[in-house]
Amino acid sequence: MVTSLQQAAGNAAVSRILSGSDAVLASVQRVRIKDVDFDLTTPGEGRRVRAMLDTYDDVADVLRLRADVERTASGDERKKMLEWIDQRIDVLQQARAREERTAKRARDRAEREREAEHVRADRERELKLAAELEDRKQAERARLRQLVLDGEELVGPFRGADGTTPQQDDRVTSLFALALAQVRGRAEPLIRRILSTVHRSRDAHEVESGFTLKVLNGTSLSAASGERAAGIANYAEVTIAVEVPAFLGPSTPLFSHVRSLAQLESVIDQMRKATPELASTLLHELTHLALHRTFDNGSLPYAASGAEEDEDVGDEDAWKATRDAVAELERFGTPAEGADSASASDASDSARAIASRILGYTQRWGESAAQRRATEVVSHLIEIVLAKGMPYVETHLPAGARLLARVEAKLPAPDA
């Protein structure tokens, strides 16, 4: 009965029941600590209470005891006991604060470890991505280096700005190698003969005989047509200038500015897209070289007789074939009269765009427009062959196809 009441109402209620009426309560100073009753009127009982207090480790229990003592004890005994109780409360509160600090430190440490683990995982992921990116860059550089080697094997070293040292800028050489690879990739017999002729002359810069190819950067890619096929005895030199496009970044080595796989893909894609125009220009210039080598003149598609200047050449037939091809190309490249949207789309067609450039060659000192266009017609026709294939030229430019057939018969057969 006492125990169940105690559980329900606490020590104060028990004290009240055990001590009978309120009148008696003040003189019966009794408390209960952990099922042990203390009569505070007994001398020395306070010391026992104090010892027992040390077994209380819950502040809430001590606070309840304090309420009991406040209510039941009196005089010096009460004052002393409250002091002890308050000391015990202090001790317990400090212990709790220490425990909380320790727990917080443990929580903080765990949090820091989780954070560090995240950072480690992020770093690992970054390193893995960086390694993957570096691998891809290396693979792409190796692929392009091989194309450069293949290109140099074909036309000789890509020359630097001083004309003697190999071009050190792998961004420029890669673009040229890609363009050259695209030209090489065309199976057209005439293109193969042109490349073969160029190939046989690849060491020309060393012997000053034959042809050499100079690769420069400086002007814009779209204006990369600064050809100069100046005949010096049996030596000719072609300069193709190309400005490094912005997508290749500000410095070498190639892809050094690339920071992600996506960016790498984008740069490779843009290089691919930049290639056809450069390939067209490159083949145009290589054609000049092959013509010069084969016919020993300033790119006329027939053997020089020393009489080009008055257009009275030995090979009347060849001259007529050339003029027919020029006239046909001029017509093909001239926008139809009263051009509407339909012919505008014709004009945007790559073949017509190439053809129309023949109209840009006008008379200059010592040379008529007809003469200039005669030295350009084969190079322009071969660009159309590169863009559209020989069957297209045979269909749309029959006179041009006949002229190309005459040239092809004169060029050496490709090496086996």
Q: How far is the CB of 299 from Zn ion (least distance, A)?
A: 7
Q: How far is the CB of 288 from Zn ion (least distance, A)?
A: 6
CA 348 vs. chain centroid, Å, equals: 32
Report helix, strand or coil for 405: helix
Nearer to Zn ion by Cβ, of 15 and 379: the residue is 379
Nearer to Zn ion by Cβ, of 248 and 377: the residue is 377
Q: What is the DSSP letter of 387?
A: H
Q: How far is the CB of 376 from Zn ion (least distance, A)?
A: 5
Q: How far is the CB of 280 from Zn ion (least distance, A)?
A: 11
Q: How far is the CB of 211 from Zn ion (least distance, A)?
A: 14
Site for Zn ion in 171-190 (CB under 5 A): none
Q: What is the largest CA-CA distance in the chain?
A: 152
Distance, CA of 402 to CA of 386 (rounded, Å) = 17
Nearer to Zn ion by Cβ, of 11 and 379: the residue is 379
Partners of 170 in the β-ladder: none
- In the shown chain, the binding pattern of residues 6 to 45 toward Zn ion, with x for contact by CB under 5 A and - for none, equals ----------------------------------------
- In the shown chain, the binding pattern of residues 342 to 381 toward Zn ion, with x for contact by CB under 5 A and - for none, equals ----------------------------------x--x--
Site for Zn ion in 220-239 (CB under 5 A): 227
Nearer to Zn ion by Cβ, of 227 and 328: the residue is 227
Give the pairing of strands 210-216 and 235-241: parallel
What are the two backbone dihedrals, phi and then psi, of residue 38, each rounded to the nearest 5 degrees? -125, 135
Q: What is the DSSP letter of 305?
A: -
Beta strand residue intervals within 18-91, DSSP E? 30-33, 36-39
Nearer to Zn ion by Cβ, of 352 and 373: the residue is 373
Reported residue count of the chain is: 416
Site for Zn ion in 290-319 (CB under 5 A): none
What are the two backbone dihedrals, phi and then psi, of residue 240, each rounded to the nearest 5 degrees? -120, 120
Distance, CA of 280 to CA of 308 (rounded, Å) = 27
Closest residue by beta carbon to Zn ion = 379
What are the two backbone dihedrals, phi and then psi, of residue 41, each rounded to the nearest 5 degrees? -85, -15
Nearer to Zn ion by Cβ, of 225 and 252: the residue is 225
Which chain residues interact with Zn ion by CB under 5 A? 227, 376, 379
